[in-house]
């Protein structure tokens, strides 16, 4: 054994790095490129975790005792946000009511985005009769007033499941994004790399999913967030107007009860009205600002600036 071989044998090999550690650090650094986007991401994650895990640590709203001596009590150490018209803690209702709002917003936005992206991209790429059928279906759905249709459905069917509401909102919210995706794909399908993939006969599904849609990731993400915000507004609006059964825990139900029980006329009931409004506003603002960081992650031109 030579001296060099002995020296190399004494040197310990470097410890292998974890496969996901580098990718996670890169993702985290990219998030922090936009301060507003990073703050929005942190706020959204906090609200999401509170809504998801918070109900596990607080009592159910329906199990809260009614205390007529604490009706519309001011915020205190016992009740941080005060009490409602039945003397029940508002903070507990806020924690329990966040989960259905966020989950319905996510689920409805996912449904509408998948429908719009898949059918919009295929309609533009395939063209012909399929394109005409998809565009006609989108035009028909666009002409139907959503709030009127939801009111009719609520009158004939007991839509008391948040998942059912999410499906209804999602299936009515896809036409605008579909038309936008279709217009984008009309432009992208004429690019050289798409032409090369077509000449190689890679198949429609592979070309659309692997060659066209990844170049629209930023656009799709932005519209997914917009779809989520619109879904949340639609859900809360349905409960506030009384078009959905007032069962369970929900920020929209809190607003409806605050309005119908005259909370706006009591000075000490400010937080009963203001708490759900602020929570919805902060959630929407966090979603919108969060997209700034994700845009820089997904857009290579912004990522390398």
Side-chain-facing half-sphere of 34: CA atoms under 13 Å: 22
d(CA 81, CA 89): 7
How many folded domains does the chain comprise? Answer: 1
User: pLDDT at position 196, please?
Assistant: 84
C-alpha closest to that of 243 among 191, 171, 293, 168? 168
18 is a domain residue: no
User: pLDDT at position 248, please?
Assistant: 75
What number is the average pLDDT over the span 255-262?
88
User: pLDDT at position 213, please?
Assistant: 84
d(CA 3, CA 68): 89
1 is a domain residue: no
d(CA 21, CA 56): 31
d(CA 245, CA 102): 18
User: pLDDT at position 11, please?
Assistant: 46
The chain-wide mean pLDDT, for the chain, equals: 82
3 is a domain residue: no
8 is a domain residue: no
13 is a domain residue: no
245 is a domain residue: yes
Percentage of residues of the chain with pLDDT beyond 90:
30
Question: Residue 267 is part of which domain span?
Answer: 32-303
Confidence grade of residue 12 (pLDDT, cut at 50, 70, 90): very low
Q: What is the pLDDT of residues 204-226, one digit of tens each?
A: 778 888 888 888 888 888 889 88
User: pLDDT at position 4, please?
Assistant: 45
User: pLDDT at position 265, please?
Assistant: 82
Lookup result for tokens 């918070």: 54
d(CA 112, CA 114): 6
Of residues 26 and 128, the one with the higher pLDDT is: 128
pLDDT(104) > 70: yes
Highest mean predicted confidence (pLDDT) among 61-65, 171-175, 247-251: 171-175
pLDDT(280) > 80: yes
User: pLDDT at position 17, please?
Assistant: 47
User: pLDDT at position 292, please?
Assistant: 77
pLDDT(5) > 80: no
299 is a domain residue: yes
- Cβ contact 123:189 at 8 Å: no
User: pLDDT at position 15, please?
Assistant: 47
What number is the average pLDDT over the span 187-204?
80
d(CA 71, CA 21): 52
User: pLDDT at position 107, please?
Assistant: 94
What number is the average pLDDT over the span 109-127?
92
Q: What is the pLDDT of residues 225-248, one digit of tens each?
A: 888 998 898 888 888 888 777 777
Q: Tell me the three-class secondary structure of the chain, residue by residue.
A: CCHHHHHHHHCCCCCCCCHHHHHHHHHHHHHCCCHHHHHHHHHHHHHHHHHHHHHHCCCCHHHCCCCHHHCCCCCCCCCCCCECCCCCEHHHHHHHHHHHHHHHHHHHHHHHHHHHHHHHHHHHHHCHHHHHHHHHHHHHHHHCCHHHHHHHHHHHCCCCCHHHHHHHHHHHCCHHHHHHHHHHHHHHCCCHHHHHHHHCCCCHHHHHHHHHHHHHHHHHHHHHHHHHHHHHHHHHHHHHCCCCCCCCCCHHHHHHHHHHCCHHHCHHHHHHHHHHHHHHHHHHHHHHHHHHHHHHHHCHHHHCC
20 is a domain residue: no
User: pLDDT at position 302, please?
Assistant: 55
User: pLDDT at position 22, please?
Assistant: 59
Side-chain-facing half-sphere of 1: CA atoms under 13 Å: 8
User: pLDDT at position 106, please?
Assistant: 94
d(CA 110, CA 171): 10
What number is the average pLDDT over the span 141-155?
77
82: left (phi over 0), alpha (psi -120 to 50) or beta: left
* CATH number, domain containing residue 156: 1.10.3720.10
């Amino acid at each position: 054994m030579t001296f060099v071989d002995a020296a190399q044998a004494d040197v310990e090999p470097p410890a292998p790095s974890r496969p996901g550690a580098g990718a996670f650090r890169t993702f985290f650094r990219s998030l922090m490129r936009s301060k507003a986007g990073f703050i929005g991401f942190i706020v959204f994650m906090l609200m999401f975790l509170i809504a998801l895990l918070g109900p596990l640590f607080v009592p159910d709203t329906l199990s809260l005792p009614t205390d007529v001596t604490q009706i519309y009590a001011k915020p205190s150490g016992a009740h941080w946000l005060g009490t409602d018209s039945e003397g029940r803690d508002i903070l507990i209702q806020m924690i329990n009511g966040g989960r259905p709002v966020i989950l319905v917003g996510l689920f409805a936005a996912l449904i509408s985005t998948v429908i719009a992206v898949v059918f919009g991209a295929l309609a533009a790429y395939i063209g012909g009769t399929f394109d005409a059928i998809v565009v006609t279906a989108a035009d028909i759905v666009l002409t139907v007033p959503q709030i009127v249709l939801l009111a009719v459905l609520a009158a004939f069917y007991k839509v008391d499941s948040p998942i059912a509401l999410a499906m209804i909102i999602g299936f009515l919210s896809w036409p605008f994004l579909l038309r936008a995706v279709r217009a984008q794909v009309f432009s992208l399908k004429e690019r050289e790399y798409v032409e090369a993939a077509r000449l190689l006969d890679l198949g429609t599904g592979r070309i659309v999913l692997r060659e066209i849609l990844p170049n629209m990731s930023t656009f799709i993400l932005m519209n997914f967030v917009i779809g989520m915000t619109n879904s949340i507004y639609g859900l809360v609006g349905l409960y506030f107007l009384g078009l959905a059964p007032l069962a369970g825990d929900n920020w929209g139900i809190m607003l409806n009860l605050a309005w119908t029980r005259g909370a706006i006329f009591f000075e000490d009931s400010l937080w009963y009205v203001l708490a759900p409004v602020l929570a919805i506003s902060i959630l929407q603002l966090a979603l919108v600002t969060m997209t700034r960081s994700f845009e820089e992650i997904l857009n290579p031109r912004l990522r390398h600036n």
